[in-house]
Chains A and B, each alone.
Chain A
Amino acid sequence: DVQLVDSGGAPTQPGGSLRLSCVASGLSFNSYAMNWVRQAPGKGLEWVSAVSSAGGHTFYSDSVGGRFNISRDNSKNTVSLQMNSLRVDDTAVYFCVAARAVASLYPFEYWGQGTLVTVSS
């Protein structure tokens, strides 16, 4: 079975930094693009960032571009999201998500359980 295990969420203050990680198993990790999708408390889903299967291409939503950085280590089946200059409105559960590629052809196929980031003073 495919498993994506998210971790790294924690309470932090505005302006702070956090690094989220996701370890994948049960799939050919280097054949999948990896995404982060977040969900603020009581709100809907919001796509945050994606990295291509080989790591050469990265994508960000306008709301996090310039503050967040996505990376992957295919030797460790891991994808990370470095979050800097955190704001109160970054508070959300962050889901790690696998897709065949970053394109409309390929949906979000596998989801992690989510990790909670709370930004508050």
Chain B
Amino acid sequence: QSVLTQPLSVSGTPGQKVIISCSGSDSDIGFNYVCWYQQVSGAAPKLLIYRNDQRPSGVPDRVSGSKSGTSASLAIGGLRSEDEGQYYCAAWDDTVNSWVFGGGTKLTVL
């Protein structure tokens, strides 16, 4: 069972916007930054968002992140077929001095 809670799946049609939630606690999301990773077809994950809402170079601005209290969200607008894959949130946990991940959310573009 993952420390951070994500929905198992979300879906949308091309051009739509989807939001993936990530719920944690004070010891992880509450007092630390949240990151988001995308994994496509079992390949190595790719960093999408860091420090709650920052995009690395190369990540389009239709991808955005936010955090409030012990929850975070990843929004992907203007959905495209290549957005299909697994999305994971992650945060440092002060209680166990470890990185913790969400269980992952499968995004399907219908």
Contacts and interface: CB of A to CB of B under 8 A. Distances in A.
Interface of A: 35, 37, 44-47, 50, 59, 61-62, 95, 103-109, 111-114
A107 B101 contact: no
Interface string B50-65: 1100001000000000
A37 to B, nearest CB: 8
A103 B92 contact: yes
16 contacts: A44-B86, A45-B37, A45-B39, A45-B90, A46-B101, A47-B98, A47-B99, A47-B100, A47-B101, A59-B97, A59-B98, A107-B50, A108-B35, A108-B45, A108-B99, A109-B47
B35 A44 contact: no
Interface residues of B, number: 27
B98 A62 contact: yes
Contact of B44 (A59, A95, A104): A95
A38 B88 CA distance: 13
B35 A107 contact: yes
Interface string B79-110: 00000001010111000111111111000000
Given A107-B51, A109-B56, 19 more contacts: A35-B99, A44-B2, A44-B101, A45-B37, A45-B101, A45-B104, A47-B98, A47-B99, A47-B100, A50-B99, A62-B96, A104-B91, A106-B50, A108-B45, A108-B90, A108-B99, A109-B47, A111-B44, A111-B46
A24 B18 CA distance: 36
Contacts of B97: 59
A107 B47 contact: yes
B70 interface: no
Nearest to B32: A104
A114 B103 CA distance: 19
Contact of A105 (B2, B33, B98): B33
